[in-house]
Structure 1
Amino acid sequence: MPQIDANSVRAGNRRSLAKAITLTESSLPAHREQAQQLLEALLPYTGNSIRIGISGVPGVGKSTFIESFGQLLLAAGHRVAVLAVDPSSPVAGGSIMGDKTRMEQLSREENVFIRPTPSGGTLGGVAQKTRETMLLCEAAGYDVILVETVGVGQSEFQVAGMVDFFMLLMLPGGGDELQGIKKGIVELADAMVINKSDGDGERIAAATQSQYQSAFSLLRNEAHWTPVVMRCSALKKVGLDEVWSTIQSYVTSTRSTGFFEHRRSTQNREWMQQLVQAMLLQRLKDNEAVIAELPVLEAEVEAQHITPYAAARRVIELLDKA
């Protein structure tokens, strides 16, 4: 892959940005080294965005919400990057969701960049790829980053750990079950937005809002921010101003207390720790002695000839000898 000019990315050249992201997604050692050099050159020009995570159960209307919300941000003068965390194709390893076809109007806008992030891969998978893509988009001048997740699972916890503001989109009439969303994910949310609050669903959405607000008051009790529950109709473009105003209030409030910067610093430290673990695991997988010995040790553990701890210690000793 040819060398990518950092200045071209900074100038907002979409082709250069796309190539830079492809470079960071590569698992080839030479490409990884080149990508890190590019990221280090661009690092002083990153961090000047609001990073927003958007999650919700399938069918809640995430694509419609992002389409309408993105248009609102554009009208306010922002440049928007949409990073969709997708499952990976089992054949080619690439994204299979086709995000640009789901956001037809937004994808045609000059100041919008839409990029799916396959969730597979090495060195931290989705966390690694999405974080680095986010930094590249910031360096290219995108000042609002929307990170969308396609379901409710492990990726939500990863996304919540890399954004400034994490919101859950919900459907009206979810009841006490919170529509199958895990309690841990709800506890991560800075806001809950009940979508499809229009027509016959408006009355149900109002009742659901009251119910969720009560649940939130029991789940979260932190000094820096009190999570809120809002209603909107992405299809009718109603209530989106309130969502954006709430996010801006959050940023203003947490910056005044220092929590905003503290959260980002903590996320960076945790990211480094995740990478250390991923790199050590990769060294284990690549070590020839470990590759040869591991099946033998696994068989001995299964036959209860040695303890799992003794086998694990043997693997580490093999790595130390390398």
Structure 2
Amino acid sequence: MDAALAGLDACALLEPHLRAYPKTRTVPEGEHTCVLERADWTPLQNAADGARFTLLVGHSWDTLRRFGMEPVVINEARAYQQQQNDEKMQECQVWIPLSFTRGIKVHYTLGQTGPGVCPVMHETLVGVVDVVRSSPHGALLFRPDENDSGLVGDCAHFPTADMNLPCEPYQPVDVPTEPDALLTTGDVRIQCAVANEAIRRRFGEHLKPIIWGEHCIYVEPTLQRQIIVNLIPDWAPGAYSDLADPDTGSKTVDIGGRPATTFFTGEGGSYEIYWSPHGDLAAFGAVHLELQVRPPRGFFTFPGPTVTDEQVSACVGAMSDIVADHFPPE
């Protein structure tokens, strides 16, 4: 618990709900957690009902989990939610950030089917935000358009930006004219520079480049598509075919008069191309393009989406454009 949040009483945040629904009560669970129950029922009856509403102050959150949730606005404050509705249970989680790494987590489960518990929970959370806003902690709430992760530029749309390797926004750079220099430059920005126009042309304006470690990665706010581009001097394209999903295997295709190895990974959720600038899949040197697709933010989805035929065509088209723009025939 951050010292800045120590004064927030979890059960006090639910006082507006108690005033609106006098047949409910709050029950503290530990120092920073509060449970909302039916006041006219015994604890055993509440437990048997299958419904549970829990609020926790100071909950720790990281960038990866934040990006698994859908951004929402509750009472003019930034929040995130994730929901699941199936035949046996409805579930909604909402997190209201109060810093880059901590906030208020609310979890509501209902042991029956229905239209969804998130809209019901939002009604209660309007009051929670009111209590926070009127307290000394009100300045900790984030506006809907405010950066709540501390990540810079388009890195704010990269789920693993704060893990292991630093993320940096792309900065324009001049592109070498010699193909061999492209592969050996060592400047990661070159990988974006050779692909920017091709990605824009084939996938639209929403995908923006960032630098993460040795990779150029194109990201978008919805997180439903992510594209990785690499220029690889010291590995052969054909060697990557071992990564292919065993059920679909790899294929060799012609792009710009030279071969490429293509395949799916992640049970069809990713499509990869490794193209040979030397016309030989066994020779060192490759241009790599990978498209990853994800479900909409905020929903438990299994299995996840798969790359469509149309998206495969766009990947091949983007690689064709990169080849035509920067790798003339030898």
TM band (smaller chain): under 0.3
Q: Determine which structure has greater relative contact order: mean sequence separation of CA pairs < 8 Å that are 6+ residues apart, divided by chain length.
A: 1
Higher helix share: 1
Larger Rg: 2
- TM-score (norm: length of structure 1): 0.24
Higher strand share: 2
